[in-house]
Amino acid sequence: MEKKPKYLWKYVNPNKYQLHVTNSKPTTKSEDSDEKIVYMEDLEKRKQVYGICGECNEPGTGERWCQPCNAKRFKDNFKNWTSRNKVIDEFIQKSQLNSVHHEKYLEWIPFEKFQNITYIAEGGFGKVYSAGWSEGHIKYWDIENQIWCRDNWDKYALKSLNDSSDISSNFLNEITSHLQIYLYDVINCYGITQHPDTKEYMMVLNFCNKGNLRNYINKSKKYISYKTKIGYLQKIARGLSDIHNAEKVHKDFHSGNILIMGSPYISDLGMCQPASKQTAKEEGIYGVLPYMAPEVLRGRQYTKASDVYSFGTIMNEFLSEEIPYNDIPHDQFLAIKICNGLRPDISKDIPKLLVDLIIKCWDAEIENRPTAKELYQLLTKWNNELQNVKNVEDRKSNEICSQVDEYDEIGEKKFKSRSNEDDKSKNIQTHPQAIYTSRLLNFNNLPKPVNSSTFQFDSANPVSVQLDESDLDEFWQQ
């Protein structure tokens, strides 16, 4: 009797190793990272982390994943499926042949395999639905039983892109970005399907049951502590750092593209492109104005520093729980004000260390802004101190702990004084011309970006700068 192959895969502890893979080859984060790194090109290290494939006796390339063995399995199955679109078929096949991890491959998923399809929302570039998928996505190959072992979420998200029935480079670009960027903190894409009526292609993604960051803030029935918020911001910064490590920029970074599923995840990578190949389109720029850096509003190229400016606005929105510029039109006048130094109000209830970091992200000079990696490292340091410093006296002498403890006490009292049954979103009066979905913007003759000289950044007072109509008239006459 033939002896069955042994199951030899080792469990991967993500807290011990920071694993980074793309669908081209195993790789790692940069060598100067402070985190523990496993160099995947090193066969002995791969054995330690991933174990050995019970079929070919070679080190795995991912968690319970053997790229050569699984590539052969996928290839043998090519004849059993088709999207009836040569471009899509070849795109999916390439992902399967090159996949070094179970979250970095794609499947063609016939639309009839989804159940309970429900419309969720429409953004600037397409629609999002929720759906059940009882079969679920591939997790690993069961060596003993010689079948794919699948896992399934309660719900998946189906995301279409407008006009994708005529397959577009934007659609494929977003999927490619999902495949190329670090495993954690970025939404996973499991495959592609096609709506039988509209013929639009749809990505099959993680469904985040708590919606986007703004919904999470508005719907929370509990006080969200600064300790929790710093932990979330650390993960968002890590995701942004991984996008930048892949030499890409997000280009559409705002709270609507931060989704919550236990932890925050960065989504909507459709605008995400190589940082070295960015050019401003002649017809204008796409984005959500309150989150866009002043140099981008002036038509300059998107850079990693532009994403960091957006992170500062997301950070302030999360900490202050206020939507930026919700009471004014998002028009050329606002763009002028931003270039002249206007920034969203910063609540007096935010600890000074956090205020200082927000302000650095908002600096008009891009070289003065921190990098995403620096944001991640600093937020990680603060998060670790908040988690690990337990002694009361030690917390009082620790700068971040003492500030967070003080402001959490104030914030919790204020939260309890409000009715927990109230939906905070119902109390927000948003101007009818305040638009928070991505759209085409085209501003001309904007002034050179500066930091406002009319106020000092002071956490004791909300940060703002006002320009009246006479200021604008003076600008137009220049």
* CATH number of the CATH domain containing 283: 1.10.510.10
pLDDT above 70 for 5: no
If asked whether residues 324 and 362 sit together in one domain, one would say yes
In the chain, the number of structural domains is: 3
Instruction: Name the token pair of 263.
Output: 């932890």
Q: Which has the higher per-residue pLDDT, 202 or 463?
A: 202
If asked whether residues 194 and 246 sit together in one domain, one would say no
If asked whether residues 114 and 182 sit together in one domain, one would say yes
> Which helix H or strand E contains 399, and what residues bound it?
helix 399-417
pLDDT at position 26 is: 37
Lowest mean pLDDT among 159-163, 348-352, 368-372: 159-163
In a domain, 233, yes or no: yes
| φ and ψ at residue 149, rounded to 5 degrees | -95, 125
pLDDT at position 320 is: 94
pLDDT above 60 for 316: yes
pLDDT above 60 for 246: yes
Distance (Å) of CA 318 to CA 120, 176, 216, 364, 402:
23, 29, 10, 22, 20
Euclidean distance between CA atoms 461 and 457, whole angstroms: 8
pLDDT above 50 for 355: yes
Of the pLDDT bands very low, low, confident and very high (cuts 50, 70, 90), residue 124 is: low
pLDDT above 90 for 240: yes
Report whether 181 contacts 248 (CB < 8 A): yes
Euclidean distance between CA atoms 17 and 25, whole angstroms: 18
If asked whether residues 121 and 147 sit together in one domain, one would say yes
Of the pLDDT bands very low, low, confident and very high (cuts 50, 70, 90), residue 13 is: low
pLDDT above 80 for 243: yes
If asked whether residues 145 and 240 sit together in one domain, one would say no
If asked whether residues 231 and 365 sit together in one domain, one would say yes
If asked whether residues 274 and 149 sit together in one domain, one would say no
pLDDT at position 10 is: 59
If asked whether residues 238 and 378 sit together in one domain, one would say yes
pLDDT at position 458 is: 41
What secondary structure letter does DSSP report for 274? E
If asked whether residues 312 and 338 sit together in one domain, one would say yes
For residue 299, what are the contacts with CB-CB under 8 A and spacing of at least 6?
280, 285, 443
pLDDT above 60 for 171: yes
In a domain, 381, yes or no: yes
Strand partners, 80: none
pLDDT above 50 for 39: no
Strand partners, 108: 192
Residue numbers of the domain that contains 287: 211-417+426-441
Helix orientation angle between 332-339 and 469-476, rounded to the nearest 10 degrees: 90
Task: Point out the domain boundary residue: 206, 240, 262.
Answer: 206
Q: Could you give the angle at the alpha carbon of 368 between the alpha carbons of 401 and 454, nearest 5°?
A: 85
If asked whether residues 322 and 430 sit together in one domain, one would say yes
Lowest mean pLDDT among 23-37, 38-52, 221-235, 345-359: 23-37
Distance (Å) of CA 259 to CA 179, 185, 193, 233, 428:
18, 10, 22, 12, 21
Rank 90-104, 124-138, 307-321, 449-463 by mean pLDDT and report only the highest.
307-321
pLDDT digits (tens, 9 = 90+) for 73-110: 999 999 999 999 998 999 999 999 999 888 889 999 99
pLDDT digits (tens, 9 = 90+) for 204-228: 999 998 899 999 998 888 999 999 9
Percent of the chain at pLDDT exceeding 70: 77
pLDDT above 80 for 326: yes
pLDDT above 80 for 448: yes
DSSP codes, 25-91: SEE-S-TT-SS-B--TT-HHHHHHHHBB-TTT-SB-SBTTB-HHHHHHHHHHTGGG---S-HHHHHH
Mean pLDDT value across residues 443-450: 90
Mean pLDDT value across residues 450-467: 50
DSSP codes, 317-385: HHHHT--TTTTS--SHHHHHHHHTT------TTS-HHHHHHHHHHT-SSGGGSPPHHHHHHHHHHHHHH
Task: Point out the domain boundary residue: 206, 228, 253.
Answer: 206
Report whether 188 contacts 259 (CB < 8 A): no
If asked whether residues 199 and 331 sit together in one domain, one would say no
pLDDT at position 31 is: 39
pLDDT digits (tens, 9 = 90+) for 188-199: 899 999 999 988
Lowest mean pLDDT among 196-210, 331-345, 457-471: 457-471
Which residue do the tokens 């984060």 mark?
A: 29
In a domain, 463, yes or no: no
Report whether 266 contacts 236 (CB < 8 A): yes
Percent of the chain at pLDDT exceeding 90: 52
In a domain, 2, yes or no: no
Mean pLDDT value across residues 391-407: 95
In a domain, 313, yes or no: yes
Lowest mean pLDDT among 117-131, 403-417, 420-434: 420-434
Task: Point out the domain boundary residue: 187, 206, 225.
Answer: 206
Report whether 322 contacts 386 (CB < 8 A): no
Of the pLDDT bands very low, low, confident and very high (cuts 50, 70, 90), residue 182 is: low
Residue 172: CATH number of its domain: 3.30.200.20
Specify whether the backbone of 42 is left (phi greater than 0), alpha (psi in -120 to 50) or beta.
Answer: beta
pLDDT above 50 for 253: yes
Report whether 254 contacts 203 (CB < 8 A): no
Q: Which has the higher per-residue pLDDT, 468 or 170?
A: 170
If asked whether residues 166 and 235 sit together in one domain, one would say no
pLDDT above 80 for 288: yes
DSSP codes, 97-163: HH--STTS--EE--GGG-EEEEEEEE-SS-EEEEEE-SS-EEEEEETTTTEEEEE--S-EEEEE-TT
In a domain, 409, yes or no: yes
pLDDT above 70 for 357: yes
Mean pLDDT value across residues 339-363: 95
Buried b (16+ CB within 10 A) or exposed e, 408-428: beebeeeeeeeeeeeeeeeee
Q: Which has the higher per-residue pLDDT, 283 or 378?
A: 378
Chain mean pLDDT for the chain: 82
Euclidean distance between CA atoms 72 and 286, whole angstroms: 41
In a domain, 466, yes or no: no
pTM of the model: 0.83
pLDDT above 70 for 330: yes
CA-based torsion, 96, 100, 104, 109: positive or negative: positive
In a domain, 370, yes or no: yes
pLDDT above 50 for 18: no
